Structure 1
Amino acid sequence: MYLDSGDFITRAEAIHALMARWTPDIATEILPLEQSRGRICARDVFSQNTLPVCRSAQADGIAVRFADFTDGVPDTSAWKKDLDYAMADTGDDFDDEFDTVIQVEDLVYNASGTFSIVPEAPIVKGQLVSAQGSMLCTGELILKKGAVVHPLQLCILAAGGISQLEVVKQPVVAYIPTGNELVRPGEKPQRGQNVETNGLMINGYLEEWGAVIRTYPILPDDRKLLDETLTNALQHADIILINGGSSKGSEDHTVWLLKERSSFLQHGIKSIPGIPVALSIVDGKPVINLPGPPFAAFCALDWCVRALIYRAQGRAMLPPQKVTAVLLQEVHKPAPYEFYLRLKVYKTADGFCAEPLSWGSRFSQAMNCNARMVIPVGLEGYQKGDVIEADLLYELPDEERRN
């Protein structure tokens, strides 16, 4: 299908058009608490426990009666355990007869096994004692609907008596790599062949965003086989990604097939790289035709596929972590479109610097890329020394924080 630039729309227009035609069915499932890490909480969760159940010590030491200290620190040489005092460990309860805790640091133990209390130790009634429910109360909201379950939340949920959690089902994303020239990772490419590398990148991001991946074997450029595989994928997945065949080559069958089968198709986006990406709805499900070049595929993942996966989970996308950096070279856009600029960002004694990376196809550029920015339509570029905002792709390691 010939790409007509007159039909191109912006990324924002494309994702809006796609979302307007797709309403995902957000289903839920119940999992054991220990299996819910990283999942999306499906509804508000309330504590079933009150903690402490009665009261507890805030420090290791002894529990005493404050009434014994009204005239100052008493002589403890003849004190008997469980009669004049009780042992108190952090988090433990103790007999109701006692109401105050003295920390072990304020005790001096003698060779005979008795102890004395440091004279200057402050003794206040009720000190170092947590009241009933001071940590958690029955009926208290402990996790909100839509929250991602992190390890700290698991701790709080367990304290609240939660052993199972209702979470949003993970969307299933089918990934279909296509191309006569492709071989699997690990196979040595021969003349005219190339390694199918996008699958590793795509699967990694899909897992990071909370999807389940269903990867198909590499398909040759065969329209009938592609049609059959798409039909199978639509039966088993919520979102389908077809990689390759998105441009206008003689073996690019994907967009022709989507034109026949889709109720909506947008082929061509005003964004470089990744102009030939195609967005479609087939049988009520999004089918995205990703370009073959890795960074072009990444860009489509970044602005389109991630938005679909988050919506399928009922989540709002958080903005990327940004840093303000000084641009080390001038940058000019190659066309009057949006432009994804790859950056290598590092920190110096004076702040962050951003080194623009070539927008060519060398993989060494990708190895150095740790941030990006999108130059919008209407802006021709930036000058060396301009201050820009860069979106970090991952946390900068120490070696990229140069002092």
Structure 2
Amino acid sequence: MSQQPMLSVDEALDRLLAAARPLTEVETVATEAALGRTLAQSQVSPIAVPPLDNSAMDGYAVRVSDLNTQGDTRLPVSQRILAGSVGVPLAPKTAARIFTGAPIPPGADAVVMQEDTTAVEDGVTVHKAVTPGAHIRRAGEDIAPGATVLSAGTRLFPQHLGLAASVGLAQLPVVRRLRVATFFTGDELVAPGMPLEPGRIYNSNRYTINGLATALGFEVVDLGTVRDDLAATMAVLARAAQCADVVITSGGVSVGEADFVKAAVERQGRLDMWRIAVKPGKPLAFGEVAGKPFIGLPGNPVSVFVTFCLFARPFLLRMQGVQQVMPAAFWVEAAFDWPRPDRRREFLRARLVRDEEPTTRVEIYPHQGSGVLTSTVWGDGLVDVPAAAPVRQGERVRFIPFAELMR
């Protein structure tokens, strides 16, 4: 029987995102506790920001008509207005000493920068004429009352919390945290800190997957390592589906005699084995157990890292209710040759370098094997190489920073 053609990366992503069912449970948290959470409902501003016309800098509030356009103008200082206080109407032929953020007094129509003045006894000499509106921040120029300041489906980062606070929002409605259950199978796996006997390996994938999920703000339910046994695998799989929203594991989903995850999932739900035209990676299992999505990542350490970032991450974020789930990328000059590309789309571990010009370029780790986890620590991103596309030094390539894949 011939194998099904491989899915492209974009086709696999489309299928995953189409299958994601966003959580609907909402909880209200203090704004300062909302970092990393997903906003459940759009927020509108109850006020204008700024609430009043105010000074953009330290200086003097004046009437433009009082200034001499041909030379210096000496004006008495009639009042002093600090941020947080409100002045009185500005008397004609006077100036008000004003500080950044302080409200513009009625009658004033411009601010002269402190640098364009000289303080004199009982007054100020203005050396430079200004135009109406100079150095004034108008009420509502940033945010109008009733304007939407934050949209539903936004992941809340520090700037979002600052914006919410700027309009007086002390609490925010957020989607409850997605619960991700993980477990790992294999009699060869050993926990770090234990003796490493012949034929055994330390379980790095557990730390990679749990770490990535935690960095994205999900609640991780780590069910540990399961021995190679069908009954034990079925039991932990049922427990995972019962206590979490999504189940993720790595390895154990091929057709080998000791690969029990595939059989366990098929007995308790359904499983699709996808062959994706991606390197590292290619095999990806996606299915459902007791109504909960199941993702089976490849077993090689680098493949786990890359396929989680490319496929599991956007799926999980969409389930969390996030609207924008794809990482930002940019184009940069290649500082390497890649003369023998694979027929699959490749994601090379890479890092940015700056030479003397200065020009930002990207270099790749010399060993791109799927077991070389060192490359993910050495690098700070992935170079996205289209299928069967050689790369020559100096050409522009698409670069995805790790920082984008872990937020």
- Using the size of structure 2 for normalisation, the TM-score is 0.79
1:92 matched residue in structure 2: 102
Matches within 5 A, 1:11-160: 11-12=8-9, 14=12, 16=14, 23-65=21-63, 68-69=66-67, 75-76=74-75, 81=79, 84-93=94-103, 95-96=105-106, 98-110=108-120, 113-118=121-126, 120-160=127-167
> Distance between the aligned counterparts of 1:18 and 1:94, measured in 2?
55
SS across alignment from 1:155: helix
SS across alignment from 2:225: coil
For the 8 Å contact 1:341–1:374, the answer to whether it is kept is yes
For the 8 Å contact 2:351–2:378, the answer to whether it is kept is no
> Distance between the aligned counterparts of 1:328 and 1:85, measured in 2?
66
Report the residue type matching 1:328 in the other structure: D
For the 8 Å contact 2:192–2:202, the answer to whether it is kept is yes
SS across alignment from 1:277: strand
Given candidates 310, 325, 336, the residue that maps to 2:334 is 325
> Distance between the aligned counterparts of 1:126 and 1:393, measured in 2?
43
> Distance between the aligned counterparts of 1:219 and 1:292, measured in 2?
15
2:83 matched residue in structure 1: none
2:382 is aligned with 1:371: yes
Report the residue type matching 1:49 in the other structure: I
2:7 matched residue in structure 1: 10
Against the structure 1 CA distance between its residues 241 and 126, is the aligned structure 2 distance closer, same or farther, given a 3 Å change threshold? closer
Against the structure 1 CA distance between its residues 223 and 64, is the aligned structure 2 distance closer, same or farther, given a 3 Å change threshold? same
For the 8 Å contact 2:352–2:361, the answer to whether it is kept is yes
**Unaligned ranges ≥5, structure 2:** 81-90
Against the structure 1 CA distance between its residues 61 and 177, is the aligned structure 2 distance closer, same or farther, given a 3 Å change threshold? same
2:243 matched residue in structure 1: 236
Report the residue type matching 2:340 in the other structure: V
1:245 matched residue in structure 2: 252
Deviation at 1:48, TM superposition (A): 0.9
Against the structure 1 CA distance between its residues 172 and 193, is the aligned structure 2 distance closer, same or farther, given a 3 Å change threshold? same
1:338 matched residue in structure 2: 344
SS across alignment from 2:60: strand
Deviation at 1:21, TM superposition (A): 5.2
> Distance between the aligned counterparts of 1:102 and 1:366, measured in 2?
54
2:367 is aligned with 1:357: yes
Question: After superposition, what is the alpha-carbon deviation per residue over 1:305-331, rounded to whole angstroms, capped at 9, x for unaligned?
Answer: 123113212424335514353652422
> Distance between the aligned counterparts of 1:270 and 1:126, measured in 2?
59
2:168 is aligned with 1:164: no
> Distance between the aligned counterparts of 1:19 and 1:131, measured in 2?
43
> Distance between the aligned counterparts of 2:370 and 2:271, measured in 1?
32
The size of the alignment, in residue pairs, is: 383
Deviation at 1:16, TM superposition (A): 5.0
> Distance between the aligned counterparts of 1:360 and 1:137, measured in 2?
52
CA RMSD of aligned residues (A): 3.5
> Distance between the aligned counterparts of 2:130 and 2:360, measured in 1?
50
1:298 matched residue in structure 2: 305
Higher mean C-alpha deviation, range 11-20 or range 83-92: 11-20
SS across alignment from 2:402: coil
Question: After superposition, what is the alpha-carbon deviation per residue over 1:19-71, rounded to whole angstroms, capped at 9, x for unaligned?
Answer: 55553444333222122233333333211112333322222123345565479
Question: After superposition, what is the alpha-carbon deviation per residue over 1:90-122, rounded to whole angstroms, capped at 9, x for unaligned?
Answer: 111254355543332233234xx534314x321
Provide the identity percentage: 23
For the 8 Å contact 1:259–1:265, the answer to whether it is kept is no
Deviation at 1:366, TM superposition (A): 4.2
2:198 matched residue in structure 1: 191
2:88 matched residue in structure 1: none
Deviation at 1:237, TM superposition (A): 1.4
1:394 matched residue in structure 2: 402
Report the residue type matching 2:128 in the other structure: A
2:183 is aligned with 1:176: yes
Deviation at 1:286, TM superposition (A): 1.4
Report the residue type matching 2:207 in the other structure: L
Higher mean C-alpha deviation, range 174-183 or range 310-319: 310-319
